Structure 1
Amino acid sequence: MTPSFIVSLKVLIIDVPILFFMGTLIGWTLAKKQFKGRTLVDTLVVLPIVLPPSVLGLYLLMTLSHIPFIRESRILFSFPAAALAPLFPSCQ
């Protein structure tokens, strides 16, 4: 197996349970509760439908690269970043 396939499987193993619980919690909260900032949460959930994942990833990379701690610690292109990055466009 190729190394990229192995990395993809590792990311999948990490992200699927997180997305299951996070998606269930956000969906239940938006369906059952009224709270301040509900419109903002709803907008953030719908945002991946409007923007392609590549554009959303580019915006995320551009935003995080301006934070000195993140840029200097070289977190942006590490495995934890690869495991967390798919969570942003997948939260729909």
Structure 2
Amino acid sequence: MFDILNVIELEPFLLSFKLAAITTVILFILSVPLAWYLSQTSSRAKPFLEALTALPIVLPPSVLGFYILVALSHNSPIGEFFEDTFGVRLVFNFTGLVVASCFYSLPFMVQPLQSGFESINKNMLEASYISGKGKLETIIKVALPNIKPALLTAIIVTFAHTVGEFGVVLMVGGSIPEETKVASVAIYEFVEIMDYKSAHIYSAIMVIISFLVLLSVYVFNSKMKKVGV
């Protein structure tokens, strides 16, 4: 037991959780209006927006990471603007990881929220509008409270998915201790140097975390179905 504790460095895990927490908060703020729009619109552009939003699910992480790296590098207009104006580099640091993670985990936040919004009784929304509530107030006070299972699924799965990122974060952030070396990158480096003992320990921790996260989602959703929420 003590031998295992000596192998584990907490920093990669803490960095992974910090990245996941920040990414989840940002994506929640950005995804609620996007998911609401997609759930309510009948625009011809809807399939295009849905496909664009879901693209990170099917796109190889290395491909997505490469294009994010190119888009955020100092040689790009975006990277040059942020570095010259704010003195902030967007690659090979924690800021770059947050930006990349927001792109990579976007569908895991948007899709559950969209499904939840689409399941709401339209009469409930109409009643909210008739009572004088605007769209923003309707979303906050009517829609979100009535999609608790979808809301929890979106938040927890986004968090867990971000914790487990590898290809995108390695491409955009590299492996800088206490800056971009998250748990998944640490596991990769252990395997590279054939330190399978440490790789097993770190991987086991990630498996346990992932399982507990998913278990909590299914247990909560099961309870919500029983009470009719």
SS in 1 for 2:90: coil
Task: Give the aligned partner of residue 51 of structure 2.
Answer: 43
Could you tell me the percent identity over the aligned residues? 35
Distance 1:53 1:87 in 2: 13
* CA deviation string 1:22-71 (max 9, x = no partner): 33322211110245754542232021122022321111112332316626
Does residue 19 (structure 1) correspond to residue 34 (structure 2)? The answer is no
Structure 2 gaps, min length 5: 1-8, 84-88, 108-229
Relative to the length of structure 1, the TM-score reads 0.74
- Root-mean-square deviation (Å): 2.5
The structure whose Rg is larger is 2
Distance 2:99 2:90 in 1: 11
Aligned length: 92
Structure 1 gaps, min length 5: none
Task: Give the aligned partner of residue 16 of structure 2.
Answer: 8
- Write the mapping of 1:57-68 to structure 2, written as runs, cut at 5 A: 57-65=65-73, 66-67=75-76
- Write the mapping of 1:76-87 to structure 2, written as runs, cut at 5 A: 76-87=91-102
* CA deviation string 1:1-29 (max 9, x = no partner): 43222211211121112222333322211
Does residue 33 (structure 1) correspond to residue 41 (structure 2)? The answer is yes
Relative to the length of structure 2, the TM-score reads 0.35
Distance 1:85 1:27 in 2: 20
Q: Which amino acid aligns with 1:77?
A: F
Q: How has the CA–CA distance of structure 1 residues 69 and 22 changed in structure 2, closer, same or farther, with 3 Å as cutoff? A: closer
Task: Give the aligned partner of residue 88 of structure 1.
Answer: 103
More displaced stretch, 10-19 vs 39-48: 39-48
Task: Give the aligned partner of residue 151 of structure 2.
Answer: none
Does residue 54 (structure 1) correspond to residue 62 (structure 2)? The answer is yes
Distance 1:62 1:16 in 2: 24
Distance 1:69 1:19 in 2: 20
Structure 1 consecutive aligned stretches of length 4 or more whose deviation exceeds 6 Å: none
- Which protein, 1 or 2, shows the higher relative CO under an 8 Å CA cutoff with sep ≥ 6? 1
More displaced stretch, 64-73 vs 38-47: 64-73
